[in-house]
Amino acid sequence: MTTATAPRNPTPAYDENPANSAALYGDKALYRKISALAEDEEQRELVEGFEIPIRSARAWVVKKGQLCTLSTPHGPQVGDLNLFSLANPRERFWASRTKQLHASHVSVGDRLWSCLPYMRPLATIVGDSLKDYGVDGVGGRVHDLLGTRCDPYVNKLLSGNDFDFHCHSNLTRAVMPFGLTEADVHDVINVFQVTGLNRDGKYFMETCPAKPGDYFTFFAETDLLCAMSACPGGDLSVYGWGEDSAKRMLDTCRPLGVAVFEMKERDEVLKGWKESERPGYNGVHGVKMPVFVEQTK
């Protein structure tokens, strides 16, 4: 008779240890303090607040050192979030590396990293009302980095229909006033979305578990341009492809809330903090520089 053994749990490729903890997570004591202030309405001042209508998107600015809270004021709704450096939109959120450095689904303490050659944290997550969701009965987790935004191209591929209201299209419209185009829209963090991989390694989505008032808050490590789509799939309870599915999903769509805050004791809280920086790699990728030959007459 053989005894079953539990599957081996491999060591993460980017394991947190004393040598790299500060590089990956920053000053944890500082972010615990920021997290506490983010939860205290008396310690923050509203800079801007609005709702994103169903099946739409909006772009907005969050300055370095500010807090931004995304919420579900009317109940379950998935939001697809893009982040850019406000000063240089070529620097934008990199979902794949964030997933490697932290996890496939992120929460308080994890950071949202930018693409190469910039490679720095754009934001740090400091609040999450769903942080205790954990792993559900089918292996799902919340705040997804495994998947990406819905788009009209895959919809056409799978259904044969043209349908303009997808997160990719919503985000495209949202960033246009800032001089950006469809080519600038990138892989997202699916806030409030539960996903996972099944036994066959296939991507799955579950119904959004958010309730009215649930939230996800991040701290801006640099000046940011943010854009979020209220997913036309709504809470994903009847998700599908094609015109009929689009009509059925309409009843599951709800607005999303956005609020930008300034911390009242910002200077004191952020004493010693500085804007995130690039790692400072000074190589040229192994390419040899040409030798300068002085021209003589």
Helix, coil or strand: residue 179: coil
Phi, psi of 76 (to 5 degrees): -60, 130
Report the pLDDT averaged over residues 116-142. 97
Structure token pair of residue 83 = 């982040």
* pLDDT of amino acid 72: 98
The yes-or-no verdict on residue 2 having pLDDT over 80 is: no
* Long-range contacts of the stretch 33-36 (C-beta < 8 A, 24+): 33/269, 34/67, 34/124, 34/126, 34/219, 34/263, 34/269, 35/108, 35/126, 35/127
pLDDT-derived band at 277 (thresholds 50, 70, 90) equals: very high
C-alpha to C-alpha distance for 288 and 274, rounded to whole angstroms: 35
| Section 98-107 average pLDDT | 97
Mean per-residue pLDDT of the chain: 93
- DSSP secondary structure letter of residue 104: S
Q: Sign (positive/negative) of CA torsion 271, 276, 281, 284?
A: negative
Output the pLDDT for position 273: 95
Q: What is the pLDDT averaged over residues 106-113?
A: 98
pLDDT at residue 290 is higher than 90: no
The answer to whether residue 259 scores a pLDDT higher than 90 is yes
Is the per-residue pLDDT at 230 higher than 70? yes
Q: Give the tens place of pLDDT for each residue, 45-94.
A: 999 999 999 999 999 999 999 999 999 999 999 999 999 999 999 999 99
Q: What is the CA radius of gyration of the chain?
A: 21
Residue 222 burial (10 A CB sphere; 0-12, 13-18, 19+): buried
> Is 280 exposed, middle or buried (CB count within 10 Å of its CB: 0-12, 13-18, 19+)?
exposed
Percentage of residues of the chain with pLDDT beyond 70: 97
Closest-CA residue to 235 (of 49, 75, 6, 121) = 75
Delimit the domains of the chain by residue range: 26-265
pLDDT-derived band at 3 (thresholds 50, 70, 90) equals low
pLDDT of residue 169: 98
Question: Strand pairing partners for 185?
Answer: none
The model's confidence at residue 222, banded by pLDDT at 50, 70 and 90, is very high
Q: What share of the chain is helix, strand, coil (3-state, %, to 5)?
A: 20, 30, 50
**Predicted TM-score of the model (pTM):** 0.93
Give the pLDDT confidence score for residue 1 in this predicted structure: 54
User: Per-residue confidence at 151, pLDDT binned at 50, 70, 90?
Assistant: very high
